Amino acid sequence: MSTTGRENDAGLVDELDRSHRAEEAAVAGGQTVGDHPAGSPTPAVVTTGPVDDARRPRRRRPVGSLAVSALSVTVFLCGWQLAAVFGWINPLFTSSPTGIGEALVELVREGELTEHLVASGRLFGLGFALSVVFALPAGILLGWYSRLAAVFDPFLQTLYVAPRIALIPVIFTWFGVGLQSQVVIVFITAFFPLLINTVSGVRAIDPSLLRVARSFMARDRDVFWTLALPSALPFIVSGLRLSMGMALIGVVVAEFFTGNVGLGALITTAGLSLQTDVAFVGVLVVTAFALLLNALLTRLEARVSAWKVVP
């Protein structure tokens, strides 16, 4: 090879080396090299597989918000207790945190609270289960068959807007004063939230997906199981959560009017006899039970919301 050829080769090597160093300097400085940002992967290494769960950003619990909430509750309870101790409020009508705690311990020790809990739990279970058994299939049928919905819609709309508490005297006339009337009261209060959410969920099928299914000659049964039911599932769980809250209200209302035992009866009897601390115990137990069920159904609702069929 001639001297001129070797000099050209050496110059080419030097040019490539300078270019490589310039690219490294651009990458270090965050500049753009060619058509791609510095440091970005080339299209050859782009993956289409599922993202590892470990790489997904995790939601952090709002520690500051929880601390503020806990502090506000503590300040409220301390202020309530101090107001009762110094006589700024009448404990006969408002009680105090320590008085409520003592009443709770006394009710648990005597077994009275357990008796009321069992009675209310049985009533809640019967009424809520009955509402699910009837509202869920009725909502699916009314949401799937528009003509059937047109037949029953006037009656359902009338019953929905009617104040159901006003029907309690009629329920007493039909079913008497006892467990049957209590279950019916819980049933009618919990029925409509689940029914309406189920109907809305079944009708929430995306029209484009429905057209695609029809274009492939899909049968109604296949469309229902593959499109309608998955689309309705988040709505159904949301309806269960709302129906559960209404069922608890129905339990308390039913026991207000007809119960000799149960948390509603405990609250009524204690309030009429000016046992405010005992009445607050009943209210707190109902509230705790409602919060527990609501938390469980809220987590379930968050899980099934990802199952909704989207185009």
Where is average pLDDT lowest: 166-180, 214-228, 262-276?
214-228
Reported as a single tens digit per residue, the pLDDT across 172-213 is 889 988 889 999 999 999 999 999 999 988 888 766 776 766
Out of 3.90.25.10, 1.10.357.10, 2.30.30.100, 1.10.3720.10, select the CATH number for domain 103-307: 1.10.3720.10
More confident of the two residues 167 and 91: 167
Q: pTM, whole model, 2 decimals? A: 0.71
Q: Average pLDDT of 52-65?
A: 54
pLDDT in tens, 116-131: 999 999 999 999 999 9
Question: Three-state SS across the chain?
Answer: CCHHHHHHHHHHHHHHHHHHHHHHHHHHHCCEECCEECCCCCHHHCCCCCCCHHHCCCCCCCHHHHHHHHHHHHHHHHHHHHHHHCCCCCHHHHCCHHHHHHHHHHHHHHCHHHHHHHHHHHHHHHHHHHHHHHHHHHHHHHHHCHHHHHHHHHHHHHHHHCCHHHHHHHHHHHHCCCHHHHHHHHHHHHHHHHHHHHHHHHCCCCHHHHHHHHHCCCCHHHHHHHHHHHHHHHHHHHHHHHHHHHHHHHHHHHHHHHCCCCHHHHHHHHHHCCCHHHHHHHHHHHHHHHHHHHHHHHHHHHHHHHHCCCC
Domain residue extents for the chain: 103-307
Lowest mean pLDDT among 80-84, 104-108, 200-204, 256-260: 256-260
Per-residue pLDDT at 115: 92
